[in-house]
Amino acid sequence: MKLTETITVENLDVKVAPDLHTRLRWKEYQILSLLVENSPKAVTRGEFVNQIWKGTYCSDSTINQTIKSICKKIGDKEHEIIKTVPRVGYIIEEKHRFNIHSNPPYTLPVHGADTGVDHREQPPRAEQALAVQPAAQSVPRVIDELYIDPSDHAEPVWALPAHAKTPADLYQDAYPDKSLQ
């Protein structure tokens, strides 16, 4: 299979050869976009955690596996497109190989602003986006267990099971006589 000179990403769909199309998961798309946006600069694991996972826990293994999955989907078996920079992170040196067309529901924050506040217009919340859709399409398409198709401009669904307890609840169960305050 001969890869095309340009890898086209439209929303989550990837075209790497005339006859080969695949689909990225939302985190894969975010990581690939961040790598292309920062090219030719390397992106550190800390930047991935801060900008993609928004400071929530993310192991090195999670990042490694996500990068590995992206490489497989874009046909980068020899790691010639997405390269590992030892003790730093990952880099895409050939930014021109990517043609990313998308209107994702989330954008990365603007860096360098004095206030640290992103003043760009934000997409509508899931409730608003669903309210304007016809009744037949009121349920967004789910592309995997945790994410809603970004073409629906809805927020990801993050739900804990009803029996889940917060860390505060677990502490209170373990130490009923102690207060958290």
Tokens of 95: 């930014």
Q: Model confidence over 94-139: pLDDT tens digits?
A: 766 666 655 554 444 444 444 444 444 545 554 444 444 444 444 4
Name the domain count of the chain.
2
The residue-averaged pLDDT of 65-93 equals 84
Residues 90 and 146 in one domain: no
Residues 88 and 152 in one domain: no
Residues in contact with 36: Cβ distance below 8 Å, sequence separation at least 6, in sequence order: 92, 95, 98, 100
Return the biggest CA–CA distance within the chain: 67
Residues 97 and 127 in one domain: no
Long-range contacts of 66-71 (CB under 8 A, 24+ apart): 66/27, 66/28, 66/31, 67/31, 69/25, 69/28, 70/24, 70/28, 70/31, 70/32
Q: Model confidence over 48-77: pLDDT tens digits?
A: 888 888 867 888 888 889 889 888 887 878
Q: Model confidence over 15-54: pLDDT tens digits?
A: 666 677 777 788 888 888 888 888 888 888 888 888 888 8
pTM over 0.75: no
CATH code for the domain of 83? 1.10.10.10
